Structure 1
Amino acid sequence: MAVDEGSISKAATRLHMAQSAVSRRLAELERHVRQPLLERSAEGVQPTVAGKMFCAKADAAVTAFDDAMRTDMHRVRALRVGYAWSAAGVYTSEILRRWQEVNPDVMVRLKRVDDPAGGLTSGLSDVAIMRTHAQRRNLREELLVMEPRVVAVPAGSALAGRGKICLPDLADYPLVINSFSGTTNLELWQEGRQPVVAVEVDTIDDWQSYIAAGVGIGVTPASTAWMHPHAEISYLPVPDAPPVPVYLVWASNNRHPALHSFIQLARNVVAEVAE
């Protein structure tokens, strides 16, 4: 609640509790997990990295409890598809539309999670759309498509008027990097001819805010321009940048009855659109 409100006092108001009582509960919880869950400042509170992980796991636990208490157990619960960045890009709408036509009784619920694993490790998703390799043994992955890269620049900058731009030309501009769930790092450029990192962020919202403000530029999969258009940002092709793999990833022990049907349908949609 405090994370949602950005304030302990506002959380106390929503919970109809005294602020001191909420603070005590929070302190007890932090002692139990042995690490701080919130960062406090004059502007309010925001979750620490440990806090984000705790919230994700707590949400998953509540979801699991709600599933267990459902009275309509004969119905299949929604298939949760997590993603950290841009879902399946231009294929997203067609996948969802086709699924609804073929499987109207099973909902597919997209969920953006600020987590490189798309909510898989925290139990928030059944299958994730990821742009990095799965790093755990119990996760299975399938390559869905290779995605070109674009550069995001402030709409009023000199770069915005160009039709395309190459990686070496970007080395002179400061870079905004999502170090938590992004796909870009300095290894894209040759050593000795690399841009300076202006700022590292954790979410795509912060990434766009810094670019729109002129703090730096960002290199990203092309789906970002489709999934997250921004009035103050222009996206330009970067033809010499290596493409980004897009994977479907799931836990090997996931038993959702619609999981493999969804994977097959997504595979078919991508293949048909590519033809």
Structure 2
Amino acid sequence: MTVGIHHLRTYLMAIDEGSISKAAARLHMAQSAVSRRLAELERHVKQPLLERSAEGVQPTVAGKMFCAKADAAVTAFDDAMRSDLHRVRALRVGHAWSAIGVYTSEILRRWQEANPEVLVRLKRVDDPAGGLTSGLSDVAIMRTRIGRRSLHEELLVMEPRVVAVPSGCPLISAGEVLLRDLVDYPLVINSFSGTTSLDLWDEGGQPAVAVEVDTIDDWQSYIAAGVGIGVTPASTAWMHPHAEISYLPLRDAPAVPVYLVWASNNRHPALHCFIQLARNVVAEGIE
């Protein structure tokens, strides 16, 4: 059995659709053929990549890491096989959940006006390194420091924090919310790519952790269900509004740094133009 690029495409489609039957429909293949191809891939890598249930499929922990590498491989393959090699490929901008918050739309709008020949592709990656070490992105927007010598990190802006609470939470009627007001509420924490930990509170006065999650989607689902509350950068409220969640200013929480991070050996011709544009838009917004 030879594993090839078609196995990777099938795996990525299954992840995107969350269902083998939907992936089969998108790929114009029989469901049995998709299942067989996925099984071949898992045998080749010698570990399960998908969790299968009556509701569909989702990546295992190993599958999440493999997904980033598979996406990078497919992107590189497609770039190599393009007939219009004179064109610059898309600049891939990785981010965990909220890009550059309120500045995102303005950056993309100005980029399109000034550089219509080069696409900027935003890609949400549940990866503590923003997809940089796996080759998934050219530049990443990070709210935690990676601290690797091979990566450049530039502080772009400091972002205030908010507290996310479910509908009907008594905190909604409060005129002001402080960290000490949250101690009696259990927390939902994104321990994979989030910015909140119990270190925000003094030892001995920390809230309980209701559940730890890996993605923004799961984080919002638990909060909306009333399992707990969450603390997050203000950009989450801008980029991920939710009908069953209210975002309230958190007055005394330390701000979250937002970094642009890129590999020192990245040679994408549009990289530094994008970095300069992001700097300009953020600077204008601060003034």
TM class by smaller structure: over 0.9
- Where 2:237 maps in the other structure, the secondary structure is helix
- Where 1:159 maps in the other structure, the secondary structure is helix
The residue number in structure 2 matching 1:41 is 53
d(CA) in 1 for partners of 2:200, 2:234: 16
d(CA) in 2 for partners of 1:167, 1:2: 41
- Where 2:210 maps in the other structure, the secondary structure is strand
The residue number in structure 1 matching 2:6 is none
**Residues 238-273 of structure 1: per-residue CA shift (max 9 Å, x gap):** 121111000001111110001011111111111111
In the TM superposition, what is the alpha-carbon distance from 1:28 to its structure 2 partner? 3.5
d(CA) in 1 for partners of 2:67, 2:236: 26
Equivalent residues of 1:163, 1:237 under 8 A apart: no
In the TM superposition, what is the alpha-carbon distance from 1:127 to its structure 2 partner? 0.5
- Where 1:58 maps in the other structure, the secondary structure is helix
Does the C-alpha gap of structure 1 residues 89 and 41 become closer, same or farther in structure 2, counting only changes over 3 Å? same
Does the C-alpha gap of structure 1 residues 141 and 10 become closer, same or farther in structure 2, counting only changes over 3 Å? same
Does the C-alpha gap of structure 1 residues 12 and 228 become closer, same or farther in structure 2, counting only changes over 3 Å? closer
d(CA) in 1 for partners of 2:226, 2:263: 40
5 Å-filtered alignment, 1:107-186, equals: 107-186=119-198
Is 1:29 matched with 2:41? yes
In the TM superposition, what is the alpha-carbon distance from 1:186 to its structure 2 partner? 0.7
d(CA) in 1 for partners of 2:278, 2:148: 23
- Where 1:117 maps in the other structure, the secondary structure is coil
- Where 2:128 maps in the other structure, the secondary structure is coil
- Structure 1, unaligned stretches of length 5 or more? none
The residue number in structure 2 matching 1:72 is 84
Does the C-alpha gap of structure 1 residues 225 and 71 become closer, same or farther in structure 2, counting only changes over 3 Å? same
**Residues 139-184 of structure 1: per-residue CA shift (max 9 Å, x gap):** 1110000111000001221111223311011011000011111000
Is 1:16 matched with 2:41? no
- Where 2:66 maps in the other structure, the secondary structure is helix
d(CA) in 2 for partners of 1:165, 1:147: 17
d(CA) in 1 for partners of 2:284, 2:194: 28
Q: One-letter code of the match for 1:138?
A: S
In the TM superposition, what is the alpha-carbon distance from 1:22 to its structure 2 partner? 4.2
- Structure 2, unaligned stretches of length 5 or more? 1-12
In the TM superposition, what is the alpha-carbon distance from 1:121 to its structure 2 partner? 2.0
The residue number in structure 2 matching 1:253 is 265
Equivalent residues of 1:162, 1:236 under 8 A apart: no
In the TM superposition, what is the alpha-carbon distance from 1:15 to its structure 2 partner? 5.0
The residue number in structure 1 matching 2:242 is 230
Equivalent residues of 1:140, 1:249 under 8 A apart: yes
Does the C-alpha gap of structure 1 residues 193 and 59 become closer, same or farther in structure 2, counting only changes over 3 Å? same
d(CA) in 1 for partners of 2:196, 2:30: 44
Equivalent residues of 1:126, 1:250 under 8 A apart: yes
- Shifted more, 129-138 versus 224-233: the winner is 129-138
d(CA) in 1 for partners of 2:30, 2:52: 20
In the TM superposition, what is the alpha-carbon distance from 1:40 to its structure 2 partner? 2.6
Is 1:195 matched with 2:207? yes
d(CA) in 1 for partners of 2:47, 2:246: 41
In the TM superposition, what is the alpha-carbon distance from 1:12 to its structure 2 partner? 4.8
d(CA) in 1 for partners of 2:273, 2:58: 39
The residue number in structure 2 matching 1:209 is 221
- Shifted more, 263-272 versus 219-228: the winner is 263-272
Is 1:243 matched with 2:255? yes
**Residues 7-57 of structure 1: per-residue CA shift (max 9 Å, x gap):** 4455456552462x5444433322332322112334332210111111221
User: What do you get for the CA RMSD once the two structures are aligned?
Assistant: 1.7
**Residues 98-156 of structure 1: per-residue CA shift (max 9 Å, x gap):** 22232222221211112222222222211110001124332111000011100000122
Give % identity. Answer: 84
d(CA) in 1 for partners of 2:174, 2:104: 28
- Where 1:66 maps in the other structure, the secondary structure is helix
**Residues 181-202 of structure 1: per-residue CA shift (max 9 Å, x gap):** 1000111111111111111111
In the TM superposition, what is the alpha-carbon distance from 1:218 to its structure 2 partner? 0.2
Q: Give the paired residue count.
A: 274
Equivalent residues of 1:166, 1:239 under 8 A apart: yes
d(CA) in 2 for partners of 1:169, 1:181: 25
